[in-house]
Amino acid sequence: MSSAARSPSGGAGAPGIGGGRILSGPVAICVDRPLLALDRPFTYDLPAELGAGVGSLVRVRFHGRLVRGWVLGPTEDVPDRMLPVGRLVSPVRFFDEPMLALFRWISERYVAPLAAVIARSHPPRVASEEPGVGLAPGSGSPPRSADLRARDDAAGSARRPGPLREAPPGHRSRLGHLADPALDSYRNGGALLDAVRRSAGSFVVRPAPGEDGAVAVACVRAALAGGRSAVVLVPEVDPLPATARAVLEAVGERAVLFAGGDRRERYRAWLEIAAGRYRVVIGTRPAVFSPVPDLGLVLVSRESHALHREERAPYHHVRDVALARARLGRAVCVMSAPFPSLEASAGGHAEVEPLRRARPPVEVVRPGPEGRAPRLVTALRQARRAFLYEPLPGYGVARVCKACGEPAACAACGGVLRLQGGRVRCTVCEAPGSCARCGGTGFGIARGGAERVEEWARRVAAVPVRRVGDGDEPRPPGEREVLVGGVEAVKEFGPLGLDLVGILDADLAARRPGLAARERAVATWFEVAGWAGPNGRVIVQTRHPNDPAVQTLVTGRPDRFVRAELPRRAEAGFPVGFPVLRIAGGAGLEDELRALSPRTLLASGMGEQRLCLVALDPGDVAAFGRRVRELAERGVVTRVEAEPHL
């Protein structure tokens, strides 16, 4: 056993099924030990009679223990003594060489163990689902057995979306009208469809309000017309986004919703995708690795949404993986969002957007008492269907202790106290509210938040007012209803045609901590503003009408915000497009990392425990990652988290 060199990429195996060339002799194995200190292939002797090849899951002896591992391919790094591969664990090939190239790119880009990348690329194995596939190693994708087809028919509902809530009246007719949008009304729309049908490339699409699903359907149909498959990625599936619903309805049995279900259902669906049963896969983050044949399109819906970032190792972002997969596989990557992320906007991709403004004008007003501008109040009285976006939860913030007169602060941690659901609690540690000085529980409250908005809106509106809070099922406003909610209520419902959309507390975005707080706020504003109908009104309350974030919403174009944010991020030491890593380790970590000359290095911690935040020039990531792996072998690095929330 020894460390092995990388196997060459290229070739055409059959990912997920038993196809592909059978290997024998010295092969590189990625052992299933997701540690940076062990992040290198090891050489084993593979007997030909096992019928294994690239992507096969095998069992090997590693440091005296039997562990799983994946076959990466033949290797020329042959030691004097090799241990044999013990047995073939599964007849399934979990990846082919092109997919392995993607895994290696992810491992390098996010400084993550290759074993962690491979393990996250497919659902947990359920061995009992494999016999019915009728695998024939080395023969390519096999026909499906009658046995498995019978089970598929019985469990078909597990792979397709379950019962959905009724869409708002008029929703289906509008969606049907847009099922095949004239993308020639979009700048570069024709170039996008031509690229999807024939070649490769990357595009940033800004759909008109309510046309997200229609644009996705047009792209998917273009891929299918070109004889290729498509993967559509959505940030969430509960409730099912309008884009996912539109693609499923348009494509029919050729599409699968790869999300939800138990382990058995997920693994069965993955096997079926690999066998070529579906040409279109719709799903969340894991679907970016779907082993579809002849991939021609990867579409990232609501690309700027925070849920597209994986919170577990390897901490990848779906946008970056989709771009890499499209580049490596000569497919087209489409990043679609009303307000694309800064990374997408500044990435040099072709832009596709409507030739004419398709949203109502945005009115900017100065907030009145408790955020009730006279113009907003007047519009609310006249509205029959509206949404008021209030990012602050609760009824208000405690300002002063009534018992001792001191400024209110949590007795447990000193945090801010908020009145929510009739109780005062700390916003940091969630302890019951009590004064840090005297222990009193009575406070003077500065009113403001979604609960307070709901209260005063009920006295103004001519229709019922309701609030969507934490734990409530998100839904669009009814036909005669005003809905109040925060970011948890903002979902992709499709065209709603509201009379009024009010964006309250817009200035809060500038006060929120984090480099990306303003960007996330603007992305939410764009989604909410898109709910207004052509004759509706969008009213934003702010004391800073010339702020680039507000003006970006007013003009409907991201350009001004991008121009303002790029230098701000660079000045902070984290330029857009520069990989960011949070590295934990022991004494000497900071000095070791500083010697690698990162763009930015911020260090904290005490004693032997150090935590470093680094930003890297994209061209330095590979060398930096190799050094970090060496430091992990020496015990200097204990953990690496890529692209942390800043």
Residue 260 has a pLDDT of: 85
Confidence of residue 133 (pLDDT cuts 50, 70, 90): low
Confidence of residue 183 (pLDDT cuts 50, 70, 90): confident
Alpha-carbon distance of 524 to 304, in angstroms, equals 9
Q: What is the DSSP letter of 448?
A: -
pLDDT at residue 281 above 90?
yes
The CATH architecture that domain 362-394+448-570 belongs to is 3-Layer(aba) Sandwich (3.40)
Question: Cα(first)–Cα(last) distance of the chain, in Å?
Answer: 42
Is the bond leading into 181 cis (omega within 30 degrees of zero)?
A: no
Residue 468 has a pLDDT of: 93
| Higher-scoring residue by pLDDT: 4, 551 | 551
Alpha-carbon distance of 385 to 536, in angstroms, equals 10
Alpha-carbon distance of 73 to 23, in angstroms, equals 8
| Higher-scoring residue by pLDDT: 543, 178 | 543
The 10s digit of each residue's pLDDT in 431-456 is 999 998 899 999 999 999 999 999 99
Q: How large is the average pLDDT for residues 147-158? A: 37
Say which amino acid occupies 483. L
Alpha-carbon distance of 268 to 125, in angstroms, equals 9
Alpha-carbon distance of 329 to 335, in angstroms, equals 17
Confidence of residue 182 (pLDDT cuts 50, 70, 90): low
The CATH architecture that domain 580-642 belongs to is 2-Layer Sandwich (3.30)
Structural domain boundaries in the chain: 25-133, 155-354, 362-394+448-570, 580-642
Alpha-carbon distance of 31 to 29, in angstroms, equals 6
CB atoms within 10 A of CB 212: 28
Confidence of residue 335 (pLDDT cuts 50, 70, 90): very high
- Equal fold, 25-133 vs 580-642: no
pLDDT at residue 138 above 60?
no
Output helix, strand, coil percentages for the chain, rounded to the nearest 5: 35, 25, 45
Q: At what angle do helices 318-329 and 97-109 cross, to 10 degrees?
A: 140
Backbone angles phi, psi at 74, to 5 degrees: -65, 155
Q: Is beta strand 42-46 parallel, antiparallel or unpaired with respect to 385-389?
A: unpaired
Confidence of residue 181 (pLDDT cuts 50, 70, 90): low
Alpha-carbon distance of 319 to 299, in angstroms, equals 9
Whole-number CA gyration radius for the chain = 27
3-state secondary structure 286-354: HHHHCCCCCEEEEEEECCCCHHHECCCCCCCEHHHHHHHHHHHHCCEEEEECCCCCHHHHCCCCEEEEE
pLDDT at residue 459 above 60?
yes
- Looking at 2.40.70.10, 2.60.40.10, 3.20.20.150, 3.40.50.300, the CATH number of the domain 155-354 comes to 3.40.50.300
Q: How large is the average pLDDT for residues 177-182? A: 42
What is the average pLDDT value for the chain, to the nearest integer? 87
Residue 20 has a pLDDT of: 75
Residue 358 has a pLDDT of: 80
Counting Cα atoms < 13 Å in the Cβ hemisphere of 358 gives 18
Which candidate, 557, 553, 523, 555, places its Cα nearest to that of 541? 553
CB atoms within 10 A of CB 619: 8
The 10s digit of each residue's pLDDT in 205-264 is 999 998 999 999 999 999 999 999 999 999 999 899 999 999 999 999 999 999 988 999
Residue 423 has a pLDDT of: 93
Strands (E), 16-115: 25-31, 42-46, 56-62, 65-74, 87-93
Domain 25-133 sits in CATH at 3.40.1440.60
Confidence of residue 374 (pLDDT cuts 50, 70, 90): very high
